């Protein structure tokens, strides 16, 4: 489910008080997320609202430029044009920068990091997940030859460039591979830099099995176990191995004819079961009394809906032959 960047709004103004507001248009789609970055000289941000809903603060840092940098997130914001309201800890008469990014297929803000040491062409690094985007933000003494590279060496367009006594500017990458990413930015003056990961929404783990029921696990009393039968298991987006547990009086194995036990583990790699569709063997245990035996195989993995396979079988009494 690919992360999609939608609308963005960049606003710079003198609040002339402790709050201000402007409009932003949130895209429609699944797993929506709004990310807001505020650079506020002298005064910290106490809250941000969008369409009346309060955003969650993901980072709030005091910087060496006497400017507060804060990152805010709202999952599943209302769509269309709504009001962004930024509230400060006290009144401000300094130019203040606010940048809004809308996303769909997004699970929200991931890792953030910033380098608060002032230097020309400053860098910072952060670890990201597969297909995440990175917003890079710079505060600098000027905006002459301003640039942002995400990752370092790859220039991105500046989405904003605001005069806030000092200057703040930045941009965003497309989806990137996972791992540690260094970003770089600056101008001809000293600067500091911050990176914000925006994560792709992930599908929940899911399991499938075929068939959903098996029957005729039968044997004559004293001559078990029953003949084995098979089912297959597949999966997507796993975060843990799969456990297959037999019901009472049954047993399972990953090997035909041997290795039967109460449960077996199916190893996952990259979200899928290794060797899927994986064949599992099941049979009615030996040594049981005459009767009918039913139950469910349980197939489980962390975060996935448990699946079952219904089983039925019988231990049959030996027929007695009388000779008269």
Range(s) of the domain holding residue 73 = 4-200
Rounded distance, CA 312 to CA 304, Å?
25
Structure tokens at 70: 């804060």
Could you identify the residue written with the tokens 């769509």? 79
Rounded distance, CA 214 to CA 229, Å?
8
Residue 322 located in a structural domain: no
Given this model, what pLDDT does residue 1 score? 67
Ramachandran angles phi, psi of 277, nearest 5°: -70, 130
CA distances from 293 to 39, 256, 288, 315 (A): 68, 22, 9, 8
Domain count, the chain: 2
Rounded distance, CA 132 to CA 103, Å?
11
Domain check: are 123 and 234 in the same one? no
Residues 6+ apart with CB under 8 A from 321: none
Domain check: are 190 and 291 in the same one? no
CA distances from 296 to 212, 282, 311 (A): 10, 11, 6
Could you identify the residue written with the tokens 């997130």? 73
Given this model, what pLDDT does residue 177 score? 96
Is the Cα torsion angle 173, 156, 163, 50 positive or negative in sign? negative
**Per-residue pLDDT tens listing for the chain (324 residues):** 699 999 999 999 999 999 999 999 999 999 999 999 999 999 999 999 999 999 999 999 999 999 999 999 999 999 999 999 999 999 999 999 999 999 999 999 999 999 999 999 999 999 999 999 999 999 999 999 999 999 999 999 999 999 999 999 999 999 999 999 999 999 999 999 999 999 999 888 999 999 999 999 999 999 999 999 999 999 999 999 999 999 999 999 999 999 999 999 999 998 999 999 999 999 999 999 999 999 999 999 999 999 999 999 999 997 665 566
Angle at 320 between CA 319 and CA 324, to 5 degrees: 145
Domain check: are 127 and 54 in the same one? yes
DSSP one-letter string for 238-299: -SS-EEEEPPTTEEEESBTTB--BSEEEE-EETTEETTSSEEEEEEEPSSPPSEEEEEEEEE
Domain check: are 128 and 35 in the same one? yes
Domain check: are 123 and 92 in the same one? yes
Domain check: are 137 and 54 in the same one? yes
Could you identify the residue written with the tokens 């007695």? 320
Domain boundary among 183, 200, 217: 200
DSSP one-letter string for 156-190: E--SEEEEESEEEEEEE-----SEEEEEEEE-SS-
- Global confidence as pTM: 0.75
Given this model, what pLDDT does residue 321 score? 57
Closest CA to 129 of 204, 34, 200, 58: 200
Rounded distance, CA 9 to CA 23, Å?
8
Domain check: are 239 and 278 in the same one? yes
Is the Cα torsion angle 35, 57, 67, 191 positive or negative in sign? negative
Domain check: are 151 and 227 in the same one? no
Given this model, what pLDDT does residue 323 score? 62
Given this model, what pLDDT does residue 250 score? 98
Given this model, what pLDDT does residue 318 score? 78
Domain boundary among 170, 200, 230: 200
């Amino acid at each position: 489910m690919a992360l999609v960047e939608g609308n963005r709004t960049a606003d710079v103004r003198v609040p002339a008080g402790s709050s201000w507001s402007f409009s932003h248009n949130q895209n429609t789609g699944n797993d929506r997320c709004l990310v807001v970055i505020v650079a506020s000289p002298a005064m910290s941000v106490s809250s941000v609202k969008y369409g009346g809903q309060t955003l969650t603060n993901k980072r709030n840092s005091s910087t060496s430029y006497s400017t507060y940098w804060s990152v805010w997130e709202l999952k599943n914001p209302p769509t269309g044009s709504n009001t962004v309201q930024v509230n400060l800890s006290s009144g401000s008469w300094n130019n203040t920068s606010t940048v809004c990014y809308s996303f769909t297929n997004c699970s929200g803000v991931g890792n953030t990091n910033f380098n608060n040491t002032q230097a020309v062409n400053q860098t910072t690094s952060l670890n990201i997940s597969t297909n995440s985007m990175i917003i890079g933000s710079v505060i600098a003494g000027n905006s002459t030859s301003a640039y942002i590279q995400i990752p370092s060496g790859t220039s991105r367009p500046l989405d904003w460039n605001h005069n806030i006594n000092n200057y703040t500017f930045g941009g965003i990458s497309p989806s990137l591979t996972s791992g540690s990413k260094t970003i770089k930015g600056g101008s001809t003056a000293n600067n500091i830099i911050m990176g914000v990961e925006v994560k792709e929404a992930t599908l929940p783990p899911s399991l499938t099995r075929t068939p959903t029921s098996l029957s005729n696990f039968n044997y004559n009393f004293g001559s078990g176990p029953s003949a084995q039968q098979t089912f297959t298991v597949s999966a997507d987006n796993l975060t843990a191995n799969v456990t297959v547990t037999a019901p009472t009086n049954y047993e399972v194995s990953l090997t035909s004819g041997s290795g039967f036990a109460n449960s077996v583990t199916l190893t996952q790699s990259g979200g899928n079961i290794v060797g899927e569709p994986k064949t599992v063997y099941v049979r009615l245990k030996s040594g049981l009394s005459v009767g009918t035996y039913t139950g469910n195989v349980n197939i489980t993995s962390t975060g996935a809906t448990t699946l079952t396979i219904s089983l039925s079988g019988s231990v049959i009494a030996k027929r007695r032959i009388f000779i008269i």
